[in-house]
Structure 1
Amino acid sequence: MLLKDFYTVEKVENVQEGKYKAVVVLNNQHAVFQGHFPGNPVMPGVCMMQIIKELSQEIVGSSLFMKSASNVKFMAIINPDKNARLELDLEISGDLDSEIRVKNTTTFDQTVALKLTNTYRKA
C-alpha cells in the first residue's frame, strides 16, 4: 500500500472468469483528506487510481507498472465522511507477460464515481 492506513480492503472476490468485485473502506482521518480539502474532504483521483492498481496487483499476484489510462471519467465526488465504503468492479484481461488491461467501475451507494480503463505491464 503506497499510502499507509489510507484504506482497508473489506473483500476481493472473483465473480466470474476475469471479473472481480472489491470493497474498500476509506480512512476519513487520513492526512490526505486534511489537505484535500480542509473542512470538505474529497478523494483525490490519483489515489483512486492507485487503489485500482493495488487491487489489480493483488489479483494477478505481481507488481504492475501503468502503461496507459484511457476513458477516465470521474463522475461523482467521493467524500470520505459520507461515502467511505467503495465498491469496485474490475475486469482483468490480457497476458501477465505482456499487457494487462483493467476496466474499472467504482461506485458508492449505487452512484457511479469513476470509470476507467488502465493498461499495465509487469514491473
Structure 2
Amino acid sequence: MNWENNFYRIIQVAEGDNGFNSTVELMEKHPIYEGHFPFEPIVPGVCTLAIIRSCLSVYSDKNISFSKIKECKFISVIKPKAGLLISIDITFLKENTISAIVYNNDNTVLKLKATIK
C-alpha cells in the first residue's frame, strides 16, 4: 500500500556523504491511528519501514524493496502529537546494503541495516 501524500509526505531529500537525508512530515489525522492506538496514537513500526523504503525509491528514482533486513532495532516510538516531522539518515555501506537511522524531535526512533533490490 502506498501511503505517500496520505499518511506521510516526503518534504526534502538532501545528498550527504555516502548517502542522503530525508525530512518527512506525518499527517496528524489519519485512520491508521484509530487502530494504533486511539487514545495514545503511535506510528506503527512497519509504517516507519515503508517510509524508509519510499525515501530510498524517491532518491534512486526506481522502485526499491528490502531483500533482507539484517538488523532492525526500534528504540522509541513516534507519537504524532509530539511532532509531525521525522528525519531519516540513510548511508550506503556497500553495493545494495544500507544503514538507516530515523529521528523524531532529536530522539532516535529506529536503527536499520538492510540489503535492498
TM-score, scaled to structure 2: 0.91
Q: Which runs of 5+ in 2 are unaligned?
A: none
Moved over 3 A (4+): none
Indicate the SS of the match to 1:68: strand
Indicate the SS of the match to 1:81: helix
Q: Closer, same or farther in 2 for the Cα pair 1:88/1:8, shift >3 Å?
A: same
Distance 1:70 1:93 in 2: 13
Please tell me whether the aligned partners of residues 21 and 89 of structure 1 are also in contact (alpha carbons under 8 angstroms). Answer: yes
Q: 1:59-87 CA distances to partner (integer Å, 9 max, x unpaired)?
A: 11211232111220100111011121101
Distance 1:65 1:111 in 2: 26
Match of residue 43 from structure 2: 43
Match of residue 52 from structure 2: 52
Q: Which runs of 5+ in 1 are unaligned?
A: none
Indicate the SS of the match to 1:38: coil
Please tell me whether the aligned partners of residues 89 and 106 of structure 1 are also in contact (alpha carbons under 8 angstroms). Answer: yes
RMSD of aligned residue pairs (Cα, Å): 1.5
The answer as to 2:117 corresponding to 1:116 is no
